Amino acid sequence: MSSGDEAVRLRNAVVLLGSFPALAEASLVVERGEIVLISGANGAGKTTLLRLCAGLLPLARGEASVLGFNLATQRKEAQLHVGMLGHANGLYLDLTAQENLQFWGSIVGASSREMALSAQRMGLHSRLLNTPVAKMSAGQRRRTALAILVIRRASLWLLDEPHAGLDAAGRDEIDIILREAATAGATIIVASHELERAGALATRRIEVVGGAVVERGVQ
Amino acid sequence: MKRHSTSTWTVARTIASKDLRIEWRSKVLVNQVLPFAAIVMVLFAFALDNDGILQRVAPGLVWLAVLFTSLIIVQRTFAIESADNALDAIKVAGVPSAGVFIGKSVALVAQLLLFECVLVLLALVLYQVHLSWGGVVLLVTVSVLANIGLAAMGALYGGLGAAAKGRETLLPLLLLPAVAPVLIGATRATESAFGVGGASLGEGWPWVALLAVFGALFGFGGTLAFGVLTEE
């Protein structure tokens, strides 16, 4: 069990994808309220690290806890407090943006007002809300996914390339949302290749090299 | 900041209504799967082009067509989850797995019932079988119970194979042997409903009881096992 101020604690964590150790003895401590940027080459293990923290991958060896919950035994409990936006958006392509928002709002227990505010925030106006996701551009889909992430009201945000596909206004808006969430007490971990953009947000930077975590210092 | 866990029933209702809405919107089942089922029934009629044989084997043909169709429907219901990786998003939301399983099963039952209505009507026309009012009651009961079993097993194995390599070929391999008891029970009961081979209506009801047991077992077992089997 981690201490009360720790959002993430990994100790010699090993995650296997088949027989390949995608995370190899990775150790990391993230304090609550931090915005941590994860950098690293393709295939270094950034996404695996995020998926481990989201409880989507089992721990083969070592220790891992998120928000005080041991991922080996309390994965479901931890997931109630975690929001993740991966490479995919997690949307239903045949449904409209509004129907996707309503579905996820119902799943996580968000109110209609929260959904409307979140949609407005991400620039999903009425015409766009009634457009099937299959007919949306990549950026519009990302905005819809971000609106859904916001209504999760998660304590730990895990973001994999969140700026990908967004226009300048969308990128600015997500930066504002992430800063506000951190100010409100959320912890944010962002994996990104856009070091300048994401680095400006982050309070700390780490690099994943060959499945291990290397500290790159305070921003 | 935190939210509380959504109840199993809320999750089940939300998942089922979402699945049915997607099918209603996309029309894939009506435009593609239904014609497939109809073609299977017609091909059976061509392959066994003899009225006596066709009438005798009609119950088995109807349920074989249901089984083939159910494979496509189950694959489709999990394909919509994996198209943009929504299944992972559901897992990360930390919702009760039992709710996901029940929701998926309910949507599958509704879709399978629709297909069975069409397939039975086709059997009446193509295979020239006859149904009494007592047979209709028996057939409706059989359809509901058999579909619960098929849907429960379909949701369980569909979820299990959703993230697996070669899931298109894995699903029939897993599902068909598991639902063999349902196929046998439903076919025997439908023989009584159609009155083929000298079977009386009364002979069908013990098979109904067997289907009820399978439905309850598969439904209960699936509710318990779905989370464990699909998490990793």
User: What is the predicted ipTM?
Assistant: 0.87
Q: Return the percent helix, strand and coil in chain B, to nearest 5.
A: 85, 0, 15
Confirm if B44 and B61 have CB atoms less than 8 A apart: yes
Residue B3: inside a domain: no
Q: What is the CATH number of domain A1-81+154-219?
A: 3.40.50.300
DSSP A210: T
Q: Is A211 touching B (CB cutoff 8 A)?
A: no
How sure is the predictor about A219, in pLDDT bands with cuts at 50, 70 and 90? low
Burial of A207 (0-12, 13-18, 19+ CB in 10 A): middle
Residue of B nearest to A153 (CA): B1
- pLDDT tens readout for residues A138-168: 889 999 999 999 998 899 999 999 888 888 8
Domain that holds residue B55: 8-230
Token pair belonging to B183: 């196929």
Residues of B with CB under 8 A from a CB of A: 1-6, 10-11, 14, 18, 21-22, 25-26, 80, 83-86, 88-95, 231-232
Residues of A with Cβ-Cβ distance to B104 under 8 angstroms: none
How far apart are the C-alpha atoms of A33 and A96, rounded to whole Å?
34
Say yes or no for a CB contact (<8 Å) between B6 and A106: yes
Say yes or no for a CB contact (<8 Å) between A92 and B86: yes
- Asked if the model's pLDDT at residue A1 lies above 60, the reply is no
Q: Which of B88, B95, B232 sits opposite A90 (nearest CB)?
A: B88
How far apart are the C-alpha atoms of B125 and B78, rounded to whole Å?
33
How far apart are the C-alpha atoms of A91 and A3, rounded to whole Å?
35
Q: Which of A56, A58, A155 sits opposite B92 (nearest CB)?
A: A56
- pLDDT tens readout for residues B190-227: 999 998 878 888 898 999 999 999 999 999 999 999 98
CA atoms A76, A81, A87, A93: torsion sign: positive
Q: SS3 of A124, please? A: coil
- pLDDT tens readout for residues A54-112: 999 999 999 999 999 999 999 989 999 999 999 899 999 999 999 999 999 999 889 99
Residue B63: inside a domain: yes
Residue B1: inside a domain: no
Cβ neighbors of A45 (< 8 A, separation 6 or more) are A15, A22, A23, A24, A26, A208, A210, A211, A212
Residue of B nearest to A53 (CA): B92
Domain count, chain B: 1
Q: Which residues make up the CATH 3.40.50.300 domain(s) of chain A?
A: 1-81+154-219
Residue B188: inside a domain: yes
- pLDDT tens readout for residues B49-77: 776 788 889 999 999 999 999 999 999 99
User: A93-102, B1-10, B59-68, B141-150: which has the minimum mean pLDDT?
Assistant: B1-10
Residues of B with Cβ-Cβ distance to A104 under 8 angstroms: 89, 93
In this prediction the pTM is: 0.90
DSSP A205: E
Residues of B with Cβ-Cβ distance to A78 under 8 angstroms: 94
